[in-house]
Amino acid sequence: MTALPEPTRGEFPWEIPDHLLSIEEYAALGETDSGFTELVEGRLMMSPSPRPDHGLAMLELAHQIRPFVPEGFKTVAEADIDLELAPAGGPGFSRRPGLLIVSKAELARRRREGGILRASGILLVVEIVSPGSKRTDYTTKHDEYADAGIPFYWILDLDEPVSLVACHQAGELGYQDAPAATGIFRTAEPFPAEIDLTALLD
């Protein structure tokens, strides 16, 4: 791949790739001036910056969940994940969930080796549904995260009433989805927790 020029504000920040990108090539791109990117089977996907309510809900959820997170794990916001669905050098898959529960061992590996976080070190991902992302979050990412072996996936929908669908690995079936919860969400997996969904936008 040819060298990537420095970003120019107000313009697309990179040369358009002329081939499907590997995870290593994707990680080398860096950040955009606005919005964010994901990688789907080697194809670069651009998304606009989330709404303010998205950020508000993410921070409040992180605040509520942090006391329940077990030793050995950390809460991380909006970080790229290598879904590890492609061989090294092949067209890669990377997603950027709103919130992650990631092992300290994986964070240490990332600091030591560089690159991006790997799905094998993730316990839980949370996607916050945005306008235009409903099908992606409920269907496409649902399947990708299951295929990546991430044990738990929560889908947080901010449309009134605020709801949360908790999904967990169920063997060859992929994820099994619980009914959408509203009000107070209580769970025993992946760790005992209680989340006040009504407070996420207060």
Convert the pLDDT of each residue in 106-159 to its tens digit.
999 999 999 999 999 999 999 999 888 899 999 999 999 999 999 999 999 999
Q: Does this model's pTM top 0.85?
A: yes
Label residue 4 by pLDDT band (50, 70, 90).
Answer: very low
Output the pLDDT for position 47.
77
**pLDDT-above-90 percentage for the chain:** 69
Output the pLDDT for position 14.
58
pLDDT of 29 above 90:
no
For the stretch 85-105, pLDDT in tens is 999 889 999 999 999 999 999
Label residue 11 by pLDDT band (50, 70, 90).
Answer: very low
Mean pLDDT over 44-56 rounds to 82
C-alpha radius of gyration, the chain, whole number:
17
Let me know: does 153 contact 119? Beta carbons within 8 Å.
Answer: no
Output the pLDDT for position 191.
97
